[in-house]
Amino acid sequence: MELEVEGNSGNEEESDIIIGGGGKVNLSASEIEYVSYEGEDHLPLIMGLVDQELSEPYSIFTYRYFVYLWPQLCFLAFHRGKCVGTVVCKMGEHRNTYRGYIAMLVVIKPYRGKGIATQLVTRSIQVMMESGCEEVTLEAEVTNKGALALYGRLGFIRAKRLFRSNSWLSIEAKVTRFFRLH
């Protein structure tokens, strides 16, 4: 499979993706392929998406920390060979619980609103659950309405307001599904 980073293919004419109203892509959910992290070939795809869309700058060491230690918690979404979304997570002991953490989540603009982020997050949480995680946390900016709505819909609740230099809101979740398993 040939992999591409959004905006880096230089080959737009050859694509037969249909751009609908508002610059959105018309597609059915079955056209999106979800794969877990398979190695260094995936790293530039993840970095390209995250660097493009998230406000927080990450070094290559941060990406490697996540994908080397928890490759099973990193997923990429492809549409006809093009990487259109990714989620990067970790998990580990936290106080007396085993906790998952969603570090990065991005879906490129033309592909938003089609349930891709939901699929990516759900897949990660599924692996976390199977690995014994009792809870999942993440942080999102207070102004990020899309992310707040997405995580609210997935059962996450706002737990704590963090006063960092860039005013992040911490959303802490105890996804009820987790506790049904144990």
Ligand X SMILES: CC(C)(COP(=O)(O)OP(=O)(O)OC[C@H]1O[C@@H](n2cnc3c(N)ncnc32)[C@H](O)[C@@H]1OP(=O)(O)O)[C@@H](O)C(=O)NCCC(=O)NCCS
Choice from 36, 52, 137, 144 touching ligand X (CB under 6 A): 144
Choice from 112, 155, 170, 174 touching ligand X (CB under 6 A): 112
| Site pattern 161..180 for ligand X (x: CB under 6 A) | --------------------
Collect contacts of 174-180 with beta carbons under 8 A, ≥24 apart. 174/134, 174/135, 175/125, 175/135, 175/136, 177/125, 177/129, 178/128, 178/129, 178/133, 178/134, 178/135, 178/136, 179/134
Rank residues 105 and 136 by Cβ distance to ligand X and give the closer one: 105
- Judged by CB under 6 A, does residue 153 bind ligand X? yes
CA–CA dist 94, 40 (Å, integer): 29
Among 17-25, 36-44, 65-73, 99-107, which window interacts with ligand X (CB under 6 A)?
99-107
State which of positions 115-134 bind ligand X (CB under 6 A).
115-118
Matching residue, tokens 């070939």 = 41
* Cβ–Cβ < 8 Å for 164, 154: no
Matching residue, tokens 């927080």 = 56
Smallest distance from ligand X to CB 96, Å: 26
Rank residues 55 and 96 by Cβ distance to ligand X and give the closer one: 55
Rank residues 14 and 18 by Cβ distance to ligand X and give the closer one: 18
